[in-house]
Homo-oligomer: A and B are copies of this chain.
Amino acid sequence: MTKTSPILLTQVEVSELAKELGRSSLMGKTIDAHIKDLEEFMALPTDVPGHGEAGGYEHNRHKQNYTYMNLAGRLFQITRQQHYADFVIRLLEEYADKYLTFDFHVQKNTNPTGRLFHQILNEHCWLLYTSLAYSCVAEVMTDAQQQRIKNRIFEPMLDMFTVKYAHDFDRIHNHGIWAVAAVGICGLAIGKREYLDMAVYGIERNDSGGFLAQISQLFGPSGYYMEGPYYHRYAIRPTCLFAEILHRHMPEVDIYNYKGKVIGNTVNALLSTAYPNGEFPALNDASRTMSITDMGVQVAVSVYSKHYGVDDNLLGMAKIQDRVWMHSCGLVLSRALEQAEQKASVGMPFWPSVELNEGPEGTHGAQGFIRMQDKKGDVSQLVMNYGQHGMGHGNFDTLGISFFNRGQEVLREYGFARWVNVEPKFGGRYLDENKSYARQTIAHNAVTVDQKCQNNFDVARADSVHGTPHFFSVDSDVISGMSAFANQHYDGLSMQRSVFMLALDELESPLLIDLYRLAGEGDHQYDYSHQYEGQIIRTNFDYQSHQEVSTLGADNGYQHLWNIAGGKTSDTALVSWLQNNTYYTWLGTSSNDSGEVFFTRTGANDPSFNLRSEPAFIYRTHGKTSLLASILETHGYFNEEFEQSVNARGKVSSIKVLGHDDVSSVVQIFTANSLIILMVCNQLTTARSQHSVTFNKINYQWTGPYAVDITAIKQEK
């Protein structure tokens, strides 16, 4: 027999992993759970099915087959149970019998098709995991068995990916990482190192393709991936797996230090986007429920821990994950958590605020993530998108925000219009409503101008522009804020959004303050929309609930919004709602005389019930250059089961625009006990610049890009 060995584990590492069997450590629990899942799957009859629908049985079965082969290979090494190896070999032999008898799928979208799957992306995954499994069990196969597997599966696949689909192999894209990792890993596993070289340096061995080109070009200097965390976490798994392969088999690349530690940097960037509960904000068209418990992120956190070091936030994330990667990298993390918990209980992660720049040089805008902790330790997180359009997956929502606290997203991202793997829902693929609603500006927490989508929903135009950061200021315990411009997203209009979290002693949670300024020629309609969830509790204005309901508009997403109710507002408009156990009160105004609030609900023009039925409210104003300003207060507690309700009304009473021009904006907020004056620069400025403006005969002076002035007041009851 040819001498073979696992390509991702040494025998010393295997024996260290074996020591965790039956222990209550994260690694012990992980191995235990994998054994349980694998045994359940192995109890089913073996099946290598033919072609099927995306999301259908056949698709899922091939996916399960590679998933469990991957586990079984390592579990064979760790436990030395022969039946795990037999399971892999039996399945591989069945694939060897059938693979070349399957023709290529019929092409349904722009992706090349495979013999097993409707797109080669899935076939890359199959090859990657199966090659790893093969490397773990080949030692108990005969030479003839090995040869047959190579000849009838692995080599034809390598040929398909690097010859038939060569044009796709070197494309810089998240799918491309899967392609190169699969080819490189397979080449190594079957002793054809030329494929590893090709995977690392590209087919042409120049900078235009291959893993090193991918990781050099896909991420901004901050490590942010422009398609957003949902696609980032998908690419992070082959990135980390292949990095670990190179670390072991191409030490000359020094992969974990390559290009200023790009691997560690991009893992860190991904993790730093997550909400406090571990879920990823659904930036760009993404699932709302993807979280750090994803297997790819488990691999990434484990790899990061071993090669870049463990800290409290990683330990906190490992606790949420409740698993590690079943590998010596995961063992480092598992042991670190065990040690830390002997000293003190490890809490939830509290990731620092961070601005993640975009573009090859970091000059194409950024994504801002500000976090602030309240007195009880709850973390509020504010996210603003002022970076690039996310390529094919981009939403038209530059300057859109989302806001999270008390375990829930409050100003919400709708996420994609897609039911992944739900076969009766268009095969689990993206639905038409993804374009007609979910990616439109009005579907986000942003301002839609004249009922049009940003960049007219023109992807090429959107790809050519980006936001411009103004300031990102997170050093104070009292106020954190960020501000950015988007001046190329609506013709003839420049936009600036400045968002803050303000900690006041009298308030339970940080107050969200939002100043949205639109400047340019002519009159416009501004729709300042707020995607909330829950039950409207009260308003401070009269509105009309419509007896017959029609859509709010005819296109650009408006055709999907039922116009349920609406009314004119004066001065400060108030909308308060209850989301699960927490009350939220929004107060909004603008520099114009006109104000109107619409209550909407998605579901119009949705003939297949593809959309979720969700509410929003839109503050509409008309005017020339305008400043829209609002606050969002988090307050109180409601528990239906225990029939408790506390502080259902909140403490902020008004917000008013005192003045704004091209130089600065000044707003005033009254709470029960405080008068707050917030002054913001509307031009790029430095931290030391002195500013002085006069609105309505009152002069305001401050230093730096913004300032807040808080005065205690005694209000009459």
A residues with a Cβ closer than 8 A to B are 55, 60, 287-291, 293-294, 419-425, 428, 535-538, 545, 547-551, 562, 564-565, 576, 578, 599, 601, 603-609, 612-613, 615, 638, 640-641, 643-646, 648-649
What is the interface of chain A mostly: helix, strand, loop, or mixed? loop
* Known pairs A424-B649, A564-B603, A578-B422; A613 contacts B615 (CB<8 A): yes
Q: How many copies altogether?
A: 2
List 28 contacting pairs A-B, 8 Å CB cutoff, sorted by A: A60-B644, A287-B643, A288-B640, A289-B640, A289-B641, A293-B641, A419-B535, A419-B645, A420-B643, A421-B638, A421-B645, A422-B578, A423-B645, A424-B537, A424-B648, A424-B649, A425-B537, A428-B645, A535-B612, A536-B608, A547-B550, A547-B604, A548-B548, A548-B550, A549-B549, A549-B550, A564-B603, A565-B607
Nearest chain B CB to A275's CB is how many angstroms away?
Answer: 13
Q: Which 4 pairs show the lowest CB-CB distances between chains A and B?
A: A536-B609, A421-B645, A289-B641, A420-B643
Residue of B nearest to A428 (CB): B645
Residue of B nearest to A293 (CB): B641
Bound together, the chains give a CA A293 to CA B641 distance in angstroms of: 9
Bound together, the chains give a CA A426 to CA B643 distance in angstroms of: 15
B640 with A424: CB separation less than 8 A:
no
A290 with B641: CB separation less than 8 A:
yes
Nearest chain B CB to A282's CB is how many angstroms away?
Answer: 11
A644 with B421: CB separation less than 8 A:
yes
Nearest chain B CB to A226's CB is how many angstroms away?
Answer: 22
A549 with B535: CB separation less than 8 A:
no
B609 with A535: CB separation less than 8 A:
yes
Residue of B nearest to A641 (CB): B289
Using Cβ atoms and an 8 Å threshold, which residues of chain B touch A293?
641
Bound together, the chains give a CA A423 to CA B638 distance in angstroms of: 11
B423 with A648: CB separation less than 8 A:
yes
* Known pairs A291-B641, A613-B615, A641-B293; A607 contacts B545 (CB<8 A): yes
- A640: contacting residue among B287, B538, B550, B643, CB under 8 A: B287
Bound together, the chains give a CA A643 to CA B289 distance in angstroms of: 10
Nearest chain B CB to A310's CB is how many angstroms away?
Answer: 25
Bound together, the chains give a CA A293 to CA B536 distance in angstroms of: 28
Using Cβ atoms and an 8 Å threshold, which residues of chain B touch A612?
535
- A549: contacting residue among B288, B289, B548, CB under 8 A: B548
Bound together, the chains give a CA A467 to CA B708 distance in angstroms of: 68
- A538: contacting residue among B424, B562, B603, B604, CB under 8 A: B424
Q: A547-B604, A601-B613 are in contact. List 19 more A-B contacts (CB 8 A).
A: A60-B645, A287-B641, A287-B643, A288-B640, A293-B641, A419-B535, A419-B578, A420-B643, A421-B638, A421-B643, A421-B644, A422-B645, A424-B537, A428-B645, A535-B609, A536-B609, A549-B562, A549-B604, A613-B613
Bound together, the chains give a CA A27 to CA B10 distance in angstroms of: 51
Residue of B nearest to A559 (CB): B547
- A605: contacting residue among B419, B428, B547, CB under 8 A: B547
Residue with the highest number of chain B CB atoms closer than 10 Å, among A538, A550, A609: A609
Nearest chain B CB to A83's CB is how many angstroms away?
Answer: 25
Using Cβ atoms and an 8 Å threshold, which residues of chain B touch A643?
287, 420-421
Bound together, the chains give a CA A604 to CA B562 distance in angstroms of: 12
- A422: contacting residue among B289, B419, B648, CB under 8 A: B648
B537 with A605: CB separation less than 8 A:
no
Using Cβ atoms and an 8 Å threshold, which residues of chain B touch A608?
536
Using Cβ atoms and an 8 Å threshold, which residues of chain B touch A605?
545, 547
Using Cβ atoms and an 8 Å threshold, which residues of chain B touch A645?
55, 60, 419-423, 428
* Known pairs A609-B535, A641-B289; A424 contacts B576 (CB<8 A): yes
Using Cβ atoms and an 8 Å threshold, which residues of chain B touch A294?
641
A60 with B641: CB separation less than 8 A:
no
Nearest chain B CB to A428's CB is how many angstroms away?
Answer: 7
Using Cβ atoms and an 8 Å threshold, which residues of chain B touch A644?
60, 421
Bound together, the chains give a CA A484 to CA B300 distance in angstroms of: 60
